[in-house]
Amino acid sequence: MKAIMYHYVRSYDKSLPFIKYLHIDDFIKQIDYLKNEYGFISKEEFQKCLLSNKPIKGVILTFDDGFKDCYRYVLPELLKRNHWGIFYIPTGPFITGKLLDIHRIHMLLGRYDGKMVSDAIREIVTDDMLSHAKIEEFHTETYLGQNNNADINYVKRLLNYFIGYEYKQSVIDKLMSVYFPNEDDLVQDFYMTKSELEYMHKNGMVLGSHSVSHPAMSKLTIEEQEEEIVSSFQMIESITGKAGLKTYCHPYGGFHTFTTQTEGLLEKHSCLFSFNVESRDINQKDLSSRRQALPRFDCNKFPHGSCRYIE
């Protein structure tokens, strides 16, 4: 049983010439390939797997971050094929009305050359802003499966992992004020709205939690982790009416980004299963003994899954 992860699925946007995305044409080719090669697992079959702890052959599709792309491009293709997907929603934007920091970083790197952004960061960030305890671990464990140059890796590692959370937002604020002075215009068409999520839920899609603010949970206290989990589930359940599968997806993914405490909190709050990022099939042992860290492939591990850069 394979779970496959998607993020940006869209058409070319000339305002973001460097953004990494899966073109909708390639997405269509890939899901047709996956259906022919492995077959899709129905929602009912997947629920039986969860009850029996016995995986079956086939594919489950998952989509992270709640992008408008999912409503605009992905949903019509799934409905056309009478298929379903799991959509993991970070709920912070519904509270703040702003882009999450991780997506602000994507926008900076998507519009501008990585070297330009990395040079700007070096002018702002000082050594005392860094959280040194886990730098070595984060350096060796992050972005190994991505085809990034050194400047992009520097930007993403520093802003997503190395910097102390008390400094992170102010640094990104400074960068955005220079490179995206009209940031508010981005938000309007970036994430799905609540009414769009309600429509997806009514049409058989599963909505799961992707935390509130998309932090690396391993950098938070257990109290902060619990707040991220509980608050996000409350928001999702306000849309779904507590119907469907209660599921979660670890922000960033990888065992360095969450802890056994995170998994314990998910169990405590009756989460049925959670996805990690780990390139292998889901087996019986995963379902029976570690449901809060199920493995999941990136879509780029399969034919037609490569990112496009410039049209």
| Average pLDDT of the segment spanning 132-157 | 78
Banded pLDDT at 132 (limits 50, 70, 90): low
172-176, 182-186, 218-222: least confidently modelled range: 182-186
Q: Could you tell me the pTM of the whole model? A: 0.94
pLDDT in tens, 58-115: 999 999 999 999 999 999 999 999 999 999 999 999 999 999 999 999 999 999 989 9
Residue type, 41: I
Q: Which of 182, 172, 179, 169 lies closest to 121, judged by CA? A: 172
Instruction: Dihedral sign for Cα 23, 251, 66, 100, please.
Output: negative
